[in-house]
Chain A
Amino acid sequence: MKVRIKFTKEGPIKFVGHLDTMRYFQKAIRRAGLPVAFSGGYSPHMIMSFAAPLGVGVESLGEYFDLELTKTIPTSQIRELLDAQMTEGVHVLSARKVEDGKAGKAMSLVAAADYYVVFREGKEPKCVWRERIQEFLAQPEILITKETKKGTKEVDIRPCIYQMEQQEQGIFMKLASASSNYTKPEAVMNSFCSWLKEEMSEFPWMVKRLEVYADLGSEDNHRFVTLEALGEEIE
């Protein structure tokens, strides 16, 4: 059975990078005693795939990976067994059975992600910025310079910003996150602050990913659903 795990990553563990987070879960899965499937060969590895890598220092309330099990077990039990093995700041929120095939490829499904960005104390822009988000978005294009293998190129990220608005103390945004149009919240923030003509200090904001989505609609008419919603709980 293929199961999709949703988990949080908050607090000090945000400094553990993507590859180490994978290792962390591989060991947790063994401690939990889940009947996990392995690839063959001399150095077998667990059959698992993470949806979207999370940068070092970024927190999340909605991380995902898919895991292949050799036996069918109730999803609530999988969640409990795995959650019991977590350390501070990591909670297993759900486990859902997903079908093999299209719905079962966490990585290739990712189309968008929600983020919440808040300025660190004393590092907010000095100007009135909250009111200017709409004006920033109203630009016909938002060009950023992207590093590529062949050097740098200019990219318009405006179409990749599905949503951006002030929320409580910070900024909420929904950004394109497929491999072809993956947009970092930091890139949007850098672009916004330089458009505000603000001189920013180092590490001015904190980023938290809130959710990751697949797109069941089309390019002109998105229908975002959470990766979790593509699976089902089973008894």
Chain B
Amino acid sequence: MRKLALSDEILLSVDKAARYIGGEVNSVMKMDEDGNIDPNVKVRVAFDFPDVYEIGMSNLGMMLLYNMFNEREDVWCERVFSPWMDLDKVMREKNIPLFALESQDPIRQFDFLCITLGYEMCYTNVLQTLDLSHIPLLAKDRDDSCPIVVGGGACAYNPEPLAAFFDLFYIGEGETVYDALFDAYKANKAAGGSREDFLLLAAQIPGIYVPAFYDVTYHEDGTIASFEPNRAEAPRVIQKQLIIDMEKGYRSIKKPVVPFIKATQDRVTLEIQRGCIRGCRFCQAGMIYRPTRERDIQTLKDSAREMLESTGHEEISLSSLSSSDYSHLPELVNFLIDEFKEKCVNISLPSLRIDAFALDVMSKVQDIKKSSLTFAPEAGSQRLRNVINKGLTEENIMQGAADAFLGGWNKVKLYFMLGLPTETEEDMKGIAHLAEKIAEEYYDLIPKEKRHGKIQINVSTSFFVPKPFTPFQWAGMFTEQDFIDKAKVVKDEIRAQLNQRSIRYNWHEPDVTVLEGFLARGDRRASQVILKAYEKGAIYDAWSESFDYNIWKEAFAETGVNIDFYTLRERSTDEILPWDFIDAGVKKKFLIREWEQAHKEIVTPNCRQKCSGCGAAGYKGGVCVESKN
């Protein structure tokens, strides 16, 4: 049997030891019982999700790449997650190096350490991973014996705050150029090339950004003066990578790894499309994953069956942005219900636009008495919804709610954002008014004897964080106090409503939001703050139980970096933004136009209604091609 990296005594003294043992069903072993690695393996990859096992194992992107890398005979890709805080402490005390789950070998021995960056609040965990792996935190301090540290995922669209810690970033979808990267690595190794030689080769692969090959200078006011390659091999613009043909390019997972312990998403995840036609102006995913590309319905049916059979999971969920826009959604959902319901497989529906179809399938797969309707108006007034280009009208919501009430539902969830550009007090109060209107609709529509108790409306607000490559990338944010005041406006207005006892309100903590805003739009100078915060003990910032804003405040003070410069300031559209060197498909010209339309409260039609010339058509795929047929 495999020898574990941690002793029994350590594993018995930490919470959920099964996080660290590997060996799960469908995990890939390219090593025999005696610990000899398959001689075909030439490149060893440690793929890290910098959060705890249960979160990381719920990540679709990681599982897709794990599957794809391991299909190569010459690559063995293994998984790494952040040790929870209890084990973190033990590993530091005993100087135990971080290891990969499959072989249990130290990460330091690997050729690559690929870290997926799903959200900004994992950045200190990135440093934890490097630190526990005994890899120098700063890329410039690494020698030929260290793995190549690669960053990818949504946060790689602004890699600059992490530039100092990574050897290279992969911008875009992983399916396209990893093969070229591994081939270049092998070729360089065979030729006896150095680490730097490899990075020069990598920099010439489309989508690969090697931060060391670029220099940034700043104006006196702190804004960027120039961003220039310092090597002839490094391209001026990094082109986002994506699959153009979803049939040929998509690498379906046949055998997802089945965790021993319950992952956050303990089920089969079926990705039905990438991208979104909607163009909500606050939404980064809706911009950077353009153009919308659908997967073939028959392929999806086969894949669903194959993954349910290979995992034994009792639930399947669909994954995509705005799932209701998938052309064959009714056919797919009805297939899943007909095929798997009697095998007692739960169909977990994504958030659907509430219409007759949605209510019909919801009634088939959920207990109406227990389930709730979800609406995400995002803003409380039609004016502000026009600003953010959220095409959901009050009429849509009231109609959906009315149909649902008649169908027997009486629980409603409403999601909003506070702090959106141009927001007024009236917009905030509109949140309370909308909730009240829904409550009144229920009592008007459903006679007393037919009600299943009181209506329950849950209103949640989060604070808006401007993200790169969105029309709101220039927007200013607010201070923590402003955010608290905004939440109070909503709270007081809800309390002033007739049906206030049916409405519950909760809001997110503002300090995490402000920090997220800093990390999302930071430049290279942000890395010293992250490093300082980590050195002072910041870790697991995505977890409220461990997030300590005071550490970060000290880190800002000690590094002299002014957070307000990054968060509060509205940028001018001619400023050089830290991520301008990336071509994400959507062009700056389009984003500026959208920023202006937002201020004029003018809605932009979705991609299926009318092409708005965002620039993603340059990829010649998905909806951009389909609309021309």
Which A residues fall within an 8 A CB radius of B? 10-13, 15-17, 20, 23-24, 26-31, 38, 42-44, 56-57, 85, 87-89, 120, 202-203, 206
Beyond A12-B4, A13-B21, A20-B261, is A31–B311 a contact (Cβ under 8 Å)?
A: yes
Q: Which of B1-46 contact A (CB under 8 A)?
A: 1-2, 4, 8-9, 11-13, 17-18, 21-25
Residues of A within 8 A of B461 (CB): none
Beyond A27-B312, A28-B312, A56-B17, is A12–B2 a contact (Cβ under 8 Å)?
A: yes
Residues of A within 8 A of B2 (CB): 11-12, 88
* B319 sits at the interface (CB 8 A): no
Having A12-B23, A15-B17, A43-B346, one finds 9 other A-B pairs with CB under 8 Å, namely A12-B1, A15-B18, A16-B18, A30-B313, A31-B309, A44-B344, A88-B2, A89-B23, A206-B8
- The answer to whether A57 and B367 touch across the interface, beta carbons within 8 angstroms, is no
- The answer to whether A38 and B344 touch across the interface, beta carbons within 8 angstroms, is yes
Q: Which residue of A10, A16, A43, A56 contacts B1 across the interface (Cβ within 8 Å)?
A: A10
Residues of B within 8 A of A56 (CB): 12, 17
Beyond A13-B260, A27-B311, is A202–B13 a contact (Cβ under 8 Å)?
A: yes
- The answer to whether A203 and B309 touch across the interface, beta carbons within 8 angstroms, is no
Residues of B within 8 A of A15 (CB): 11, 17-18, 21
Residues of A within 8 A of B313 (CB): 27, 30
Residues of B within 8 A of A85 (CB): 25, 312
- The answer to whether A26 and B314 touch across the interface, beta carbons within 8 angstroms, is yes
The total number of A-B Cβ pairs within 8 Å is: 80
Residue of B nearest to A39 (CB): B344
Residues of B within 8 A of A206 (CB): 8
Residues of B within 8 A of A29 (CB): 312
How many angstroms between the C-alpha atoms of A11 and B370 in the bound complex? 41
- The answer to whether A12 and B366 touch across the interface, beta carbons within 8 angstroms, is no
- The answer to whether A13 and B13 touch across the interface, beta carbons within 8 angstroms, is no
- The answer to whether A24 and B260 touch across the interface, beta carbons within 8 angstroms, is yes
Residue of B nearest to A44 (CB): B344
Closest chain B CB from A206 CB (angstroms): 7
* B262 sits at the interface (CB 8 A): yes
Residues of B within 8 A of A31 (CB): 25, 309-312
Closest chain A CB from B35 CB (angstroms): 14
- The answer to whether A12 and B21 touch across the interface, beta carbons within 8 angstroms, is yes
Closest chain B CB from A81 CB (angstroms): 12
Closest chain A CB from B364 CB (angstroms): 11
Q: 3 tightest A-B contacts by CB?
A: A27-B312, A30-B312, A15-B17
Closest chain B CB from A196 CB (angstroms): 21
- The answer to whether B18 and A17 touch across the interface, beta carbons within 8 angstroms, is yes
28 contacts between A and B (CB under 8 A): A11-B1, A12-B2, A15-B17, A15-B18, A16-B260, A20-B262, A27-B258, A27-B311, A27-B312, A29-B312, A30-B308, A30-B312, A30-B313, A30-B343, A31-B310, A38-B344, A43-B346, A56-B12, A56-B17, A57-B8, A57-B11, A57-B12, A57-B17, A85-B25, A88-B2, A88-B23, A89-B1, A203-B9
